[in-house]
Structure 1
Amino acid sequence: MGDSEFDPEDPEQAEIGREMVDESTGLGSVAAHLYRGEMERMVEWRDRLDTTTNWAVTVMSAIVAYAFSGEVSHAVILAGLLMGTVFLFIEARRFRDYDIWRSRVRVIQENLFANALDPSQGVEHDAWRAELSRDYREPERKISYRGAFSHRLRRVYLPLITAMLIGWVFHVWAFNPDETFLEGASLPGVSGIVVTAAVGLYYVILLVLAVPLSEKERGESGEADHGDID
């Protein structure tokens, strides 16, 4: 359909959901295949996200278990924190790709299938077809790396890292009963004050980055998906 034939302000063209129900159209068939393809891509990238999360949980849990298995330095837990951070960077990048397909699926669900099921409610966005067309012509990621980082940090990694830090504090206390906390937190060549300050600064930075800067960063449904094609 050419640009001259489509007017996003025309209700009859914007609400093609009713057309799909009332009569058989070629566009409806194409839209169904399109939706199925986008769903397959979304599920594929969701699996990649879940794989990264599973690896992070497994590795970080194994490190904590090893740290408490005997006379093991608390530095092992700190190394686990760094590994968890690496997984977080990887998952943030993958989430940006996953969000491409997720946003397209939500646009089709909200404006096409929801309207087909109940045309009386209309569509969420009158120009959704033009927006989706533009997205196919010039695809781009719809969430910033910082936004994706914040989303995955808040949803998955902040609780994991918090648990590891609690384990680190307990390890320092439990395995160094004759020393103060700062003495027990020291590493070869690094005082406990420096180590503790570095860990505290690291956690504060994570807390700051976990604060969402937009509705898009708050979640995977609702307002987070509205108007994300642009």
Structure 2
Amino acid sequence: MPDIPSDFDPESPEEREIAGQAATDRGDFLSLMGHAYRGELGRMTSWRTRIDRTTNWGVVVTASLLTWAFSTDTRPHYVLLVGVVMLSVFLVIEVRRYRIYDIWRSRVRLFEENVFANALDPEGVEQSQWRELLSDDLREPTIKTPTHEALSRRLRRVYFPLFTVLVGAWVVRLSVFADGIGTVEAAAIGSIPGGFVIPAVAIYYTGLTLITFWPMRRRAKGAVESADSTEEWK
């Protein structure tokens, strides 16, 4: 370990404010920004991996249940509804992970827009107060993506197609393997009548559809959207 100077006093005001000197030195400041960017990029990548892991669980569960449910005509139909419940649990976990992931992604985009983009083509920064924004967020990290937006985004990108496949397979399972009884009677689960199960599934799926496609302004920083979309730092 390097020797610490004998006159080094970590409690002195000069040593406490030593990092602030980088703000007045261009070389030190740009070097600090490079290290900070790599750190935030590493955090973002780590949380991106966690999101992908949950998505993989959902895909594997869906594929496994579909294969098992249609392997023979004696398989119970409600196994597919169990898959819907499991997907819902994965979705809740992924929404939480996505909101935390967006903390680091928003910082990475702030670096890219105001430091690296301007270094490559100096036309001016995107946010004139980007240093203050970044400083405030480092001191008090905040979740910037609302829960409903994160839920809608993950449904649209991944989970709504999986829910659609499971619900569609459930309908086919009831229709094709009804064994001579009506679809409503076939939808019964134990003592729960089919007249209750079918409306409950329909209401749940309708709610998912509304959440997925209800128009709203995107607030997530750095998300890939269409060319006419607008984003802002929140």
TM score, norm. by length of structure 1: 0.84
One-letter amino acid of the counterpart of residue 166, structure 1: G
RMSD: 2.5
Secondary structure at the counterpart of residue 80 of structure 1: helix
One-letter amino acid of the counterpart of residue 69, structure 1: S
Q: Quote the Cα distance in structure 2 between the aligned partners of 1:194 and 1:62.
A: 27
Overall identity of the aligned pairs, in %:
42
Partner of 1:136: 138
Q: Structure 1 unaligned runs (5+)? A: 6-12, 14-18
Is the contact made by 1:150 and 1:217 (CA closer than 8 Å) also made in structure 2?
A: no
Q: Quote the Cα distance in structure 2 between the aligned partners of 1:126 and 1:176.
A: 65
* Cα offset, 1:94, TM superposition: 0.3
- Deviation per CA, 1:75-95: give whole Å up to 9, x if none: 100001000000000000000
Aligned length: 211
Q: Identify the match of residue 202 of structure 2 among 197, 200, 203.
A: 200
Partner of 1:165: 167
Partner of 1:77: 80
Secondary structure at the counterpart of residue 141 of structure 2: coil
* Cα offset, 1:131, TM superposition: 0.7
The structure with the larger Rg is 2
Secondary structure at the counterpart of residue 215 of structure 1: coil
* Cα offset, 1:60, TM superposition: 1.8
Partner of 1:30: 32
* Cα offset, 1:212, TM superposition: 4.9
* Cα offset, 1:146, TM superposition: 2.1
Indicate the structure with greater helix content: 1
One-letter amino acid of the counterpart of residue 76, structure 1: V
The answer to whether 1:41 aligns with 2:46 is: no
Partner of 2:224: 221
Secondary structure at the counterpart of residue 216 of structure 1: coil
The answer to whether 1:109 aligns with 2:143 is: no
> Relative contact order: is structure 1 or structure 2 higher (C-alpha 8 Å, sep ≥ 6)?
1
TM score, norm. by length of structure 2: 0.83
Partner of 2:90: 87
Q: Quote the Cα distance in structure 1 between the aligned partners of 2:136 and 2:84.
A: 41
Q: Quote the Cα distance in structure 2 between the aligned partners of 1:226 and 1:123.
A: 15
Q: Quote the Cα distance in structure 1 between the aligned partners of 2:100 and 2:230.
A: 15
Q: Quote the Cα distance in structure 1 between the aligned partners of 2:131 and 2:218.
A: 22
